[in-house]
C-alpha cells in the first residue's frame, strides 16, 4: 500500500476543479462517479468514508448534490475560498456554454438544420424524464406507503394542479411525523451504502482530525449567515432599486431563489415548479422552448439544473430587456442573474452546515422527510413526462395531427435507455441526428 500522498496545493486544486467543470457530463450520478474516481481512488485527496459522509449530507440538502459535494470537499481542503472556487468552477463552464448555445437557438433556431435537430431532441427529452421517474422510483419506492405517496402527488398535480412547493411541504411534514410513528416505512433516505475497500491512505483520511477552519462554532455560524444574507440582500436590493419590483430581472431573482430552496430530489424534481412559473405564470419561455432547454442542459457539462440559465437567457431575449438591438446582452445578463440566485443557497448550506457535519462522522439522521419528499417527487416527475409527451406528440393540441416521427424517435430513445442502458449523451445526440434525417426526408 502506498504511503499517504501530499496534500494538493491551491494551484493543483484549481486545475482539477476547472477540469471537472468541463468533463462533468452524465448528471449527478456520473459527476459523483468522476469525483470518486479522481479524488478517492486516483489522487487520494479524501478517504472513501469521508467522501460518503459528505455526500450523504449533500443528498439531504436542496440543490444540485454533485456541485455541493465539490464545494464541500474544496472547503474541507482549502477553507472557504477553496469551497467557493470548487463550486463556481463546477458551474461556470456550463454557464458560458449554455449562453452560447442559447444564442444559437434563439438567433437561428428556425433554420431547417437546427429545427430538425431539435425535432429529434424533444421526444428524447420526454424519454429521459420518464426514465428519471423510473430510476428515482425504483430506488425510493421501497414499500406500499411510499408508492401511495407517489400516486397521491401525481393525482394532486395532474388533476388539481396543486403547486409543487405545497406538495414538497406536505410530503416533508408527512415524512417528519411518519418517521416518528412508523420509522420502518421511511428508512432509507439518501444513503449510498457502505464504503468500499480502502484505496490507501488519503490526505483527508478516516482518522484525520477535523481542520481548525472546519470546526463548529456559533461565531462562525453568525458570520456565514450575515455574509450570505448580505450578499443576497445587496444583489436583490440593487436589482429592485435599479429595475423595480415588477421588472423581469427582479422577478427572476426572486423566483429562482425560491426554486433553489425546493430542489429536493435533483433537477427533474424542480422542473415542474420552474415550468409553472416560467411558462404559465411569467411567460418567460414557451412549453416547446422548455423542452428544448432541457435537451441543451442534457448535452452540456455541469448540473442539469443549469437549464434555468437557458430559461433566463430566453426570457431576457424574448422580453428585450435592453431594447431590440441588445438581445444577446439581455439574454446573457438574465442567464447570469438566474444562475447567481439559483446557486447562492448551495454555497450557504455547505459553508453553514459543513462544520456541524464534520463534528460527527457517523450516519446522518432525520432522513425521513427526504424519503417522503423523494417519493412524492416521483409522481411529480411522471406528470412532467406526460406533459412533455403531450406537447411533443400533439404540438397543435389533441385536435391537431399526431407526430408519428416524434413518437418513433421517442420510442427508440426509451428502448436505448431502459433496455440497452445507453448513456444520456449517446441518446440525445442520436435522437438529434435522427430528427435531422427525418426532417430532410419529409
Can you give 118-152 as a three-state secondary structure string?
HHHHHHHHHHHHHHHHHHHHHHHCCCHHHHHHHHH
Structure confidence at residue 78 (pLDDT): 95
Per-residue three-class SS string for 374-410: HHHHHHHHHHHHHHHHHHHHCCCCCCCCCCHHHHHHH
Assess if residue 111 is contained within a domain: yes
- What is the chain's mean pLDDT, rounded? 86
Q: What is the pLDDT of residues 291-337, one digit of tens each?
A: 898 888 877 888 888 999 999 999 999 999 999 999 999 999 999 99
Mean pLDDT of 347-354: 94
Q: Under a CB-based contact definition with an 8 Å cutoff, are residues 18 and 88 in contact?
A: no
- Cβ neighbours of 220 (radius 10 Å): 17
Assess if residue 194 is contained within a domain: no
- Round to whole Å and give the CA distance between 150 and 139: 13
Structure confidence at residue 39 (pLDDT): 92
pLDDT above 60 (res 263): yes
Assess if residue 2 is contained within a domain: no
pLDDT grade, residue 193 (50/70/90)? Answer: very low
pLDDT grade, residue 104 (50/70/90)? Answer: very high
pLDDT grade, residue 364 (50/70/90)? Answer: very low
Work out how many domains the chain is built from and give that number: 1
Structure confidence at residue 360 (pLDDT): 61
Return the closest-CA partner of residue 308 out of 297, 320, 322, 323: 297
pLDDT above 90 (res 230): yes
Long-range contacts: 188-191, Cβ < 8 Å, 24+? 188/140, 188/142, 188/367, 188/371, 189/59, 189/60, 189/364, 189/367, 189/368, 189/370, 189/371, 189/374, 190/56, 190/59, 190/60, 190/364, 190/367, 190/370, 190/374, 191/56, 191/59, 191/363, 191/367
Assess if residue 196 is contained within a domain: no
Mean pLDDT of 149-158: 93
Mean pLDDT of 201-220: 88
Q: How far is CA 376 from CA 123, 154, 170, 263, 327, in A?
A: 24, 8, 9, 13, 39
Range of the domain at 87: 10-189+201-441
Mean pLDDT of 204-227: 90
Q: Under a CB-based contact definition with an 8 Å cutoff, are residues 352 and 248 in contact?
A: no
Assess if residue 105 is contained within a domain: yes
- Round to whole Å and give the CA distance between 265 and 208: 31
Structure confidence at residue 38 (pLDDT): 87
Residue 5 DSSP one-character state: P
pLDDT grade, residue 132 (50/70/90)? Answer: confident
If you average pLDDT over each of 125-129, 238-242, 375-379, 395-399, which comes out highest? Answer: 238-242
Structure confidence at residue 54 (pLDDT): 83
Assess if residue 4 is contained within a domain: no
- Round to whole Å and give the CA distance between 218 and 375: 35
Assess if residue 311 is contained within a domain: yes
Neighbouring residues of 265: CB distance < 8 A, sequence distance ≥ 6: 136, 373, 374, 377
Return the closest-CA partner of residue 257 out of 179, 148, 340, 166: 340
Q: How far is CA 266 from CA 146, 161, 325, in A?
A: 18, 21, 37
Ramachandran sector of residue 2 (left: φ over 0; alpha: ψ -120 to 50; beta: rest): beta
pLDDT grade, residue 366 (50/70/90)? Answer: low
Amino acid at each position: 500500500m502506498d504511503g499517504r500522498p501530499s496534500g494538493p496545493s491551491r494551484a493543483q486544486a484549481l486545475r482539477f476543479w476547472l477540469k471537472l467543470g468541463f468533463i462533468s457530463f452524465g448528471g449527478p450520478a456520473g459527476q459523483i462517479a468522476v469525483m470518486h474516481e479522481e479524488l478517492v481512488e486516483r489522487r487520494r485527496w479524501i478517504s472513501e468514508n469521508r467522501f460518503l459522509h459528505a455526500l450523504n449530507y449533500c443528498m439531504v440538502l436542496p440543490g444540485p448534490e454533485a456541485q455541493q459535494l465539490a464545494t464541500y470537499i474544496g472547503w474541507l481542503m482549502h477553507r472557504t475560498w477553496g469551497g467557493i472556487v470548487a463550486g463556481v468552477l463546477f458551474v461556470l463552464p456550463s454557464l458560458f456554454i449554455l449562453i452560447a448555445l442559447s444564442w444559437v437557438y434563439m438567433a437561428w433556431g428556425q433554420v431547417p438544420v437546427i429545427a430538425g435537430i431539435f425535432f429529434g431532441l424533444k421526444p428524447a427529452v420526454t424519454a429521459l424524464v420518464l426514465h428519471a421517474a423510473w430510476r428515482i422510483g425504483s430506488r425510493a419506492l421501497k414499500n406500499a406507503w411510499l408508492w401511495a405517496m407517489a400516486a397521491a402527488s401525481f393525482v394532486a398535480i395532474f388533476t388539481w394542479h396543486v403547486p409543487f412547493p405545497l406538495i414538497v411541504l406536505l410530503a416533508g411534514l408527512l415524512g417528519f411525523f411518519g418517521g416518528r410513528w412508523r420509522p420502518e416505512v421511511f428508512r432509507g433516505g439518501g444513503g449510498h451504502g457502505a464504503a468500499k475497500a480502502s484505496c490507501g491512505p488519503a490526505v483527508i483520511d478516516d482518522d484525520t482530525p477535523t481542520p481548525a477552519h472546519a470546526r463548529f462554532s456559533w461565531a462562525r455560524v453568525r458570520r456565514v449567515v450575515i455574509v450570505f444574507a448580505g450578499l443576497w440582500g445587496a444583489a436583490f436590493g440593487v436589482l429592485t432599486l435599479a429595475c423595480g419590483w415588477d421588472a423581469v430581472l427582479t422577478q427572476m431573482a426572486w423566483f429562482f431563489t425560491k426554486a433553489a430552496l425546493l430542489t429536493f430530489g435533483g433537477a427533474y424534481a424542480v422542473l415542474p415548479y420552474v415550468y409553472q412559473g416560467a411558462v404559465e405564470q411569467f411567460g418567460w419561455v414557451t412549453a416547446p422552448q422548455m423542452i428544448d432547454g432541457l435537451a441543451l442542459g442534457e448535452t452540456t457539462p455541469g448540473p442539469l439544473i443549469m437549464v434555468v440559465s437557458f430559461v433566463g437567457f430566453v426570457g431576457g431575449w424574448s422580453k428585450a430587456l435592453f431594447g431590440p438591438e441588445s438581445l444577446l446582452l439581455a439574454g446573457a445578463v438574465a442567464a447570469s442573474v438566474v444562475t447567481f440566485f439559483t446557486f447562492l443557497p448551495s454555497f450557504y448550506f455547505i459553508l453553514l452546515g459543513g462544520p456541524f457535519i464534520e463534528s460527527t462522522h457517523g450516519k446522518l439522521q432525520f432522513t425521513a422527510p427526504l424519503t417522503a419528499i423523494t417519493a412524492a417527487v416521483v409522481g411529480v416527475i411522471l406528470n412532467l413526462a406526460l406533459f412533455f409527451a403531450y406537447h411533443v406528440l400533439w404540438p397543435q393540441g389533441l385536435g391537431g395531427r399526431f407526430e408519428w416521427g416524434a413518437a418513433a424517435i421517442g420510442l427508440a430513445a426509451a428502448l436505448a435507455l431502459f433496455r440497452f442502458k445507453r448513456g444520456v449523451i449517446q441518446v440525445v445526440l442520436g435522437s438529434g441526428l435522427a430528427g435531422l434525417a427525418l426532417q430532410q426526408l419529409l
